[in-house]
Amino acid sequence: MNPQIFQILPVRREASDLGSLARALAQVFDGTADRILVPADPGEDPEALRADLTARVRRLPEDVRIVVRTSGSTTGHGRLVGLAAHQLRASAEATAQRLGGQGQWVLALPPHHIAGLQVVARSVLAGREPVPTQGRFSPAELARALDRALRAEPTRRVHLSLVPTQLADALRDPAATRALARAASVLVGGDATGARLAEQARSAGIALRRSYGMSETCGGCVYDGRPLRGVHIRLGTTRDSLDTSGRIWLGGPMVMSGYLDGELGVTRQGTVRWIATQDWGQLRDGQLVVGGRLDDVIVTGGLKVSAADVREAALATGMVREAAVVGLPNERWGHLVAAVLVADSPWQPGSARMLRDAIGRRIGRARAPRVVVVLDALPRLASGKTDRVAARRLAEEALRDGTAFSID
């Protein structure tokens, strides 16, 4: 394979870089791109990335024009996702249809990850330039970017995508909260958005849309539990299952062409491409409720515990601002349920036991965490998602050095 087939494009949330990315995407959409676009973190070495791609790519479907790398939040190693122009276009058009039309987008996410890349792609297809937040994310800068976007958009239809931590930070800032309430839609994806955070946003008048998707589906393809136009959902062990709970299968025009670095990961049923996600979910009143990752189940004392359920219960106590729940190997229990968290108020002696008791009342004491680690901030990937590999490592270190709260 010729290494020069890849157009490595380091891109920051700055006008010059976004202009280059927009021009590259325009060529992808109009069919004139002569190389495969690979958006990159500005801190990466382009030649090292080119060499890595050349070594890892095992196949290159004819229609692939963009390579997006997944974050690898649970494995520590991301996949190479091959996307085609028609897939990105289908996603952007279905999003516009669900949101009630085109508008001005604010870019607050890294543009080399799928959620940020889609903001730029939607803007290109709408004939607009995205309004980026400047420098490191802050609620104040978010408010300024929203104000710039609102002044630039005659229809006042402004959209943006955030990850839950950004939304939580913004809700603690009155000016940012007021600015978000003026947006036509605020998409929140990445990590699961807790019910408490969603309720706080909606109570503040924010037009929140909880999105579910992944790089393999060109970003969010299910909004508020409802699939976008053309998207199919099935649950169960196979794509032909008609179960109301189980592994989530997604099909539709925005599903990727395939993984480039291993098994294709895509199957076909007629003209529909399908992907078996690593998530499980259930249907409630016709809406998809995502329960967490299939590998996010902790077996402790023979009991299967959903890390997502424990996290949601922790957030609902009001004691916790952010949380990640992981399993730590233990000779007696098999695994211990551990909560790695950022406290919502000063942590006092006895707070860990109070948290365990409060979670136990919600989901059962056997499912409540036996280990609590309090941090100033959770470790994050560049995409803004929680780095679960790092969170588990920090929990293991805290348990070894005695800084973790261990509760019987």
For residues 89 and 173, membership in a common domain is answered with yes
Asked if 187 and 239 sit in the same domain, the reply is: yes
For residue 111, give the nearest of 221, 11, 6 by alpha carbon: 11
Boundary (domain end) residue, out of 248, 270, 288: 288
Position 185 scores a pLDDT of 97
Closest of 284, 264, 347 to residue 81, by C-alpha = 264
Average pLDDT over residues 97-102: 94
My answer on whether 213 and 98 are in the same domain is yes
Pair (271, 123) in one structural domain:
yes
Tens-place pLDDT, residues 234-289 = 999 999 988 999 999 999 999 999 999 989 999 999 999 999 999 989 999 989 99
CA gap 36, 75 in Å, rounded: 26
Residue linked to tokens 């039309």: 101
Q: Is the four-CA dihedral 11, 89, 269, 280 of positive or negative sign?
A: positive
Which pLDDT does position 190 carry in this prediction? Answer: 63
Note the pLDDT tens digit of each residue in 342-394: 998 888 879 999 999 999 999 988 899 999 999 999 998 877 788 888 999 99
One domain, residues 270 and 309: no
In a domain, 70, yes or no: no
Are 345 and 259 contained in the same domain?
A: no
* CA 312 – CA 324 distance, rounded (Å): 10
Q: Is residue 69 part of a domain?
A: no
Residue 38 lies in a domain: no
What's the whole-model pTM score? 0.84
**CA–CA dist 268, 192 (Å, integer):** 28
Domain assignment of residue 387, yes or no? yes
**Domain containing residue 201: CATH number:** 3.40.50.12780
Number of domains the chain is built from? 2
**Cα distance between residue 384 and residue 231, in whole Å:** 26
Q: CA-to-CA distance for 372 and 59, rounded, in angstroms? A: 44
Q: Is the pLDDT of residue 39 over 50?
A: yes
Band of residue 74 on the pLDDT scale cut at 50, 70, 90: very low
pLDDT, mean of residues 79-84: 96
Phi, psi of 292 (to 5 degrees): 130, -175
Q: Looking at the domain assignment, is residue 15 inside a domain?
A: no
CATH number of the domain within which 395 lies: 3.30.300.30
Task: Indicate if 272 and 314 belong to the same structural domain.
Answer: no
Q: Residue 303 — very low, low, confident or very high, per pLDDT cuts 50/70/90?
A: confident
Residue 14, in any domain of the structure: no
Domain-embedded: residue 29: no
Domain stops at, among 246, 265, 288? 288
- As a whole number, the mean pLDDT across the chain is 92
Angle of helix 351-363 relative to helix 307-316, nearest 10 degrees?
A: 120
Shared-domain flag, residues 274 and 311: no
pLDDT in tens, 153-206: 877 799 999 988 899 899 999 999 999 999 999 999 866 677 888 999 999 999
- pLDDT tens-digit map of 360-372: 999 988 899 999 9
- What residues contact 32, with CB distance under 8 A and at least 6 apart? none
**One domain, residues 269 and 305:** no
Instruction: Say whether both 161 and 275 belong to one domain.
Output: yes
Mean pLDDT of 144-154: 91
215 within some domain = yes
| Residue 282 sits in the same domain as residue 307 | no
Q: What is the pLDDT of residue 76?
A: 44
Report the pLDDT value the prediction gives residue 192, as an integer from 0 to 100.
Answer: 67
* C-alpha to C-alpha distances, 104 to 23, 92, 145, 246, 317, nearest whole angstrom: 18, 13, 11, 37, 37
Q: What are phi and psi of 248, to 5 degrees?
A: -90, 125
pLDDT of residue 407: 85
Residues 273 and 306 in one domain: no
Percent of the chain with pLDDT over 70: 98
Boundary-marking domain end, from 232, 266, 288: 288
The confidence band for 72, taking pLDDT boundaries of 50, 70 and 90, is low
Range of the domain at 389: 297-406
